[in-house]
A and B are shown apart, each in its own frame.
Chain A
């Protein structure tokens, strides 16, 4: 008797599973029709859209949406409308290949945008390599991705480049001794290493370099150690959650030293969590609404009209990435993945809202950073 009921139960489970999958198959078949008869061009968009670090992905999505709207209003790409197929990677590298496979399977997809985490992108690359689908990422900055694949491009600067620029910038500002704090992951390590190297090459001295875990809350002792060698400034290579706490604990320990941060700290939440402590902190970014150039003012207006807020740098970068892909598809004259990838590689000086875009051999962008400062709770262009 027991056997019979369990057999039935197992079979029922299997049947239930097949049913669910059948249900998926109907939705999936509509997926693979995303570029159907009307000749729509589909672009994949994936990022971490949920969880603690969803903000980068959600902001990028806004830039992508605005770009798609503008493209479609202007008649699409070569007369074909553009649509976005979105997938959440949940910040988990295990999902990287699954999402990549989803895009590869969908033959209408000509290119992929997005990516919040370098590790997710790295885990997805083997799959993209196998189907030749090009990616233009906007938020992944790990040097590991440089030259990692022929079909991988990004319009965000690498940590190595940005960290080095910051190092030179700080040294140029007359600071001679800096204490470095960085978050213990690929982002923090990469940016801190590049910063330290550049800063020391420019004649500065890194008095101490300490790592902390992402998610740490207590920096009392780290701050003490950093201050022990009398540095003239503090550099934080990490996200806004920890940067805000470090700044707060630094100020409450009585130090008034200038603080330098990275693009990971550029978020309104830096100010809401850090309050007065982050006032005057210097960070960098590829784009700033406050430091708007001529090229970007139209974008800022359009973005503000659509979303009722200023675009973040992630939105701007994703907007540019979408536009670059559109340009490449136009250049290639088709949505053939290989042709699009080739066209992307030969993009030269494309005028984006974040400046001119050119990809080097490693798929990285060449260009210039903008330095920002927190002033009255807002990010404004730093006084040179």
Chain B
């Protein structure tokens, strides 16, 4: 049981990070940026390529910079941020006043497009990611704990906490919150709304890239399609937590992670049905509580 809970928290931490990305951008722009799953992927590849001594991109061999691990992770975060920023500037900005349906469709198309670009650059098969040297696993309460899981969970908590504090206490955070509440009013107050939105995208992308890097380290691979299913799960998590809320998104991620692992362990055929269970939870919750677990009911404005 302890073992299952620990697995669930580690997986949930990754979902939580990615869910925070979805959640903040939703808060500011009112749209689901499906492409965060791909930012997640580009982050992982950024770190992988930066750490590698030699590498293949688009079928051609390159000498990699072979940076130390911490620097490679930094590069991965920067790559994620750049991809996120480009997506926002090129695809979403022209649609700022378009109907929500157009934005959602664009987001899906951008996600497909980035996946194709990823496949072109890094190939269709999985690339191995060397496991970080974090020492041996140790036992607590009969459960075997992997150091990477501790790292993932603490990084996830710290990053989410820092992000939350940033939004809550800093001037840029105030600008983000003001924009989220009423974009036009924020603009009238002299807030550079475009800049705020871009900043939010960059911050969200850094979180997504971080999640992607942790994921690739834990599971030992990176692949063009790696962000798709985690992206869906994180979306589910963000919705569960009441999309727009940072702590809610993170808690939602943990709930999904734990639910999955518990189901895999205790439901007959649970491992085969684990995705069904995660999605089933979403459908059920939205049936019962359309505004999410921690979300507030919105008042219709005429």
A residues at B contact (CB < 8 Å):
50-52, 54-55, 184, 210-213, 215-218, 220-222, 224-225, 241, 244-245, 248, 252-254, 269, 272-273, 275
Q: Does B199 contact A (CB under 8 A)?
A: no
Chain A residue nearest to B4 in the complex (CB): A221
CB distance from B229 to the nearest CB of A (A): 7
CB distance from B253 to the nearest CB of A (A): 14
Query: Within the complex, which residue of B7, B219, B274 is in contact with A245, where a contact is CB–CB below 8 Å?
Result: B219
The verdict on A221 contacting B261 (CB below 8 Å), with A55-B125, A252-B137 known, is: yes
A253 to B139, CA, bound (A): 10
Query: Within the complex, which residue of B124, B220, B225 is in contact with A54, where a contact is CB–CB below 8 Å?
Result: B124
Binds A, one of B68-76, B264-272, B280-288: B264-272
A184 to B144, CA, bound (A): 27
Most buried by B among A52, A210, A216, A221: A221
CB distance from A237 to the nearest CB of B (A): 13
A68 to B128, CA, bound (A): 35
Which residues of chain A are within 8 angstroms of B221 by Cβ–Cβ distance?
A: 217, 241, 245, 273
Which residues of chain A are within 8 angstroms of B261 by Cβ–Cβ distance?
A: 220-221
Which residues of chain A are within 8 angstroms of B125 by Cβ–Cβ distance?
A: 52, 54-55, 269
The verdict on A224 contacting B265 (CB below 8 Å), with A210-B271, A211-B271 known, is: yes
B residues at A contact (CB < 8 Å):
3-4, 7, 11, 124-126, 128, 131, 137, 144, 146, 219-221, 225, 229, 261, 264-265, 269, 271-272, 274-275
Decide if A222 touches B124 in the complex (CB within 8 Å). no
Decide if B146 touches A50 in the complex (CB within 8 Å). no
Decide if B11 touches A218 in the complex (CB within 8 Å). yes
Which residues of chain B are within 8 angstroms of A218 by Cβ–Cβ distance?
A: 7, 11, 219
Which residues of chain A are within 8 angstroms of B3 by Cβ–Cβ distance?
A: 220-221, 224
Query: Within the complex, which residue of B144, B146, B220 is in contact with A273, where a contact is CB–CB below 8 Å?
Result: B220
7 CB contacts below 8 A, A to B, read: A52-B125, A52-B225, A211-B272, A216-B271, A221-B4, A221-B7, A273-B128
Which residues of chain B are within 8 angstroms of A215 by Cβ–Cβ distance?
A: 229
Given contacts A52-B124, A212-B271, A225-B264, 20 further A-B contacts (CB under 8 A): A51-B124, A52-B125, A54-B124, A54-B125, A184-B272, A210-B272, A212-B272, A213-B272, A213-B275, A217-B221, A221-B3, A221-B264, A224-B4, A225-B265, A225-B271, A252-B137, A269-B126, A272-B128, A273-B221, A275-B128
CB distance from A236 to the nearest CB of B (A): 13
CB distance from A374 to the nearest CB of B (A): 15
The verdict on A254 contacting B269 (CB below 8 Å), with A52-B225, A224-B3, A273-B128 known, is: no
Closest 4 CB pairs of A and B: A220-B7, A211-B272, A221-B264, A217-B219
Chain A residue nearest to B130 in the complex (CB): A275
Decide if B269 touches A211 in the complex (CB within 8 Å). yes
Which residues of chain B are within 8 angstroms of A220 by Cβ–Cβ distance?
A: 3, 7, 261
A273 to B229, CA, bound (A): 20
